[in-house]
Structure 1
């Protein structure tokens, strides 16, 4: 079993986090994710609300996964009277999965959210992402809604 140490991400981690973001969200490029992560790590904000990134690393210091967490004013199924911690992104490299690393990352995100006054944590995933669904459920998340989102340019 590898060491599951989790720490707040630093600027030197940007390239590795961006590479994982590109695996998680295939519609963007590593360069786009590098800029986004750099901005977040420098400002500790995502838009107008607090946010941060945590990374997991093995005993040799290699990054094995990340979680991006932020505050939201509301989230589906959550109490609208309080801010909500939100898992904006959560990824563990394939060869390190099923070792408790994802849970350690989410635990860090939840502690961060509690420190910002949150009483609930929320997240989302695509309908077809059954691995993500099962991972969320294993950590105590419950499905509150399923929807298809639309847009129309004007």
Structure 2
């Protein structure tokens, strides 16, 4: 549901206040300012933001490693005020495209079992269960590892 009011772009250092505000939505596992700064400039990271009507309303952090063709979505956040606009989907699709450009053949991620909205999104995008992760999260919440093969860029 991309429109002229929404764009996906790389995170910048001047996005830090908005990124910290998004991180504050998490009760646990939130990234610090220092960690966010590191990922913005890390060569093995693609830190993307969804800008809607000129405001950062979501972000996604994807990580890659030199010794594997598996990319990993580390974090996806969409502001409650922007839910239903398709920003999560746009962020994931943009990350998949970035992973393909980096020569990755698959994308993996972890998601909480009780996060039905995210699980539905990933299922619609072709992610499949790879492994259950009992007690995976800091608060002992259960997770799932999902994976999707990526076709090479055309």
TM-score (normalised: structure 2)? 0.76
**Structure 1 runs not aligned, ≥5 long:** 75-81
Q: Which residue of 1 aligns with 2:40?
A: 41
Matched, 1:10 2:12: yes
Matched, 1:22 2:24: yes
Equivalent residues of 1:72, 1:86 under 8 A apart: no
Instruction: Answer 1 or 2: which has greater strand percent.
Output: 2
Provide the rounded CA distance (Å) in 1 between the counterparts of 2:74 and 2:17.
18
Q: Please give the residue correspondences for 1:5-154 in structure 2 after superposition, counting only pairs within 5 Å.
A: 5-24=7-26, 26-28=27-29, 33-42=32-41, 44-45=42-43, 50-59=44-53, 61-72=54-65, 82-149=68-135
**Structure 2 runs not aligned, ≥5 long:** 137-154
Provide the rounded CA distance (Å) in 1 between the counterparts of 2:111 and 2:91.
17
Provide the rounded CA distance (Å) in 1 between the counterparts of 2:64 and 2:135.
21
TM-score (normalised: structure 1)? 0.76
Aligned length: 134
CA pair 120-126 structure 1, distance change in 2 beyond 3 A: same
Provide the rounded CA distance (Å) in 1 between the counterparts of 2:74 and 2:87.
17
CA RMSD of aligned residues (A): 2.2
Provide the rounded CA distance (Å) in 1 between the counterparts of 2:24 and 2:121.
20
Moved over 4 A (4+): none
Displacement after TM superposition at 1:101 (Å): 1.1
